[in-house]
Amino acid sequence: MKHAAVALLGGAILGFATWHALAQDEQPGNELLNHDEPAADQTKKSDEDSPYENMHVLARAMQLIRQDYVDDHKISFRDLTYSALRGMLSELDPHSSFMDPRDFKGMQEDTKSEFGGLGVTVTTKDGLLTLIGVAEGTPGFEAGLQPGDQIRKINGASTDRMTMADAVDMLRGEAGEKVTLTISRPVTNELKEFTIARAVIKVPSVVDAMILPTDHTGGHKLGYLRLTQFNEPTAGELAAALDSLEKQGMEALILDLRFNPGGLLSSAVDVCSQFLPPNTRVVSTEGRSPAREYFTRSTKTGLRTYPVAILINGSSASGSEIVAGALKDLHRAILVGETTFGKGSVQSVVSLPDGSAMRFTTAKYYTPSRRPIHEHGVAPDIRCAMTLEEEARLYQARRRKEMPGVAQDRARVQDPQLDRAIDALTGVLLYTGRTGGPAKG
């Protein structure tokens, strides 16, 4: 039986979902007899894992609950079925979950880059509900939330035993409504409370596109831009920004993917298409289904061949890791910073007949050289660590709309990773200028 399915990049996400269409056939596999075990044991194991026997157990449990449970308003077949699905999927891994019709509709709306909420991206890390992205210009960003913050309570309810689906449901809401978060911040060991009004959010993918001041780049015209996420408009916005920088004489590019939590797989592939020849394999997936490969496409502007450096850190996840891993493996960019988050698993979303859906892990991503991303991350070519305090100051500078080398108070916005990227590209430009070789990162 065929199902409409969707593959997701990124963790459980509020405001950024990553998906593309898949279709799968369920086909019964051939069972192999284990000759080391008696046939009776084989039959017993088969009975224990029989869908019919276990559905009978579930049906009997639901029957008893409906017959005798004290609160009859909690025992509709729909409520019991949804509760069973939530529990079943949450037991698989932190990224698998059940979505009721409202949640599924919200996930679909997220990919349009316009949604109601706080503008934060959450995942489960070390058993705690953790922010890995806070979109700029959103209520969460303006209130002072930061990547790495751990959500301990939502409207007074502890998140210790809260499922990801339940947390997402509590964080979502109508624009104008307020939600109170109790946040633990590891960088300062603070426990802080934020009351934030939700809003309808439009998030630009490309920000801070500019030519860096030449007194900071040794006289070279180095372009800089940040990608905040990967959604439907991202590739088009990136192409327009690159066109503008090229018209200003850009010699090389610094692409900042720090704090980028990911997004659409198709968008990440299209971003790679700006810098790689058509039909170049940039990522592949492997799971129980046949492996899939994803290739770049031709672009209207043609191939951009100037040197590229990519900034990454521990909050660069999912789509960011695909772009960084591909351009590193294919010797198209220099990676500067710290090893990325390590979220490289595929969640397929399968719609159910009543408008609800299941999201569950079906594969893992691999870079072109077959390096796994999940739980490994992508390592930089030039390692340049920043302390949590330095990252927090950089994030605060972004809130003030300041850029290293641009703000008058230079001391407040020091960015050693950006400085190392500038040094690396300056070296590449000097070398290629002397040898006359191709200027590629």
- Check if 343 is active-site: yes
Q: What HEC string does the chain produce?
A: CEEEEEEECCCCCCCCCCCCEEEEECCCCCCCCCCCCCHHHHHHHHHHCCHHHHHHHHHHHHHHHHHHCCCHHHCCHHHHHHHHHHHHHHCCCCCCEEECHHHHHHHHHHCCCEEEECCEEEEEECCEEEEEEECCCCHHHHHCCCCCCEEEEECCEECCCCCHHHHHHHHCCCCCCEEEEEEEECCCCEEEEEEEECEEEECCCEEEEEECCHHHCCCCCEEEEEECCECCCHHHHHHHHHHHHHHCCCCEEEEECCCCCCECHHHHHHHHHCCCCCCCEEEEEEECCCCEEEECCCCCCCCCCCCEEEEECCCCCCHHHHHHHHHHHCCCCEEEECCCCCCCEEEEEEECCCCCEEEEEEEEEECCCCCECCCCCCCCCEECCCCHHHHHHHHHHHHCCCCCCCCCCHHHHCCHHHHHHHHHHHHHHHHHHHHCCCCCC
**Candidate list 316, 343, 348, 415, residue with the active-site label:** 343
Assess contact for 317 and 131: CB atoms under 8 A.
Answer: no
**Candidate list 149, 256, 329, 415, residue with the active-site label:** 329
Assess contact for 142 and 132: CB atoms under 8 A.
Answer: no
- Check if 74 is active-site: no
Assess contact for 259 and 394: CB atoms under 8 A.
Answer: no
- Check if 329 is active-site: yes
**Candidate list 205, 318, 348, 356, residue with the active-site label:** 318
Q: Rounded distance, CA 314 to CA 51, Å?
A: 42
Assess contact for 99 and 107: CB atoms under 8 A.
Answer: yes
Q: Rounded distance, CA 250 to CA 255, Å?
A: 13
Q: Rounded distance, CA 248 to CA 246, Å?
A: 5
Q: Rounded distance, CA 359 to CA 3, Å?
A: 13
- What is the Rg, in whole angstroms, of the alpha carbon atoms belonging to the chain? 24
Is the C-alpha dihedral spanning 65, 67, 70, 72 positive or negative? positive
Positions annotated as catalytic residues are 318, 329, 343
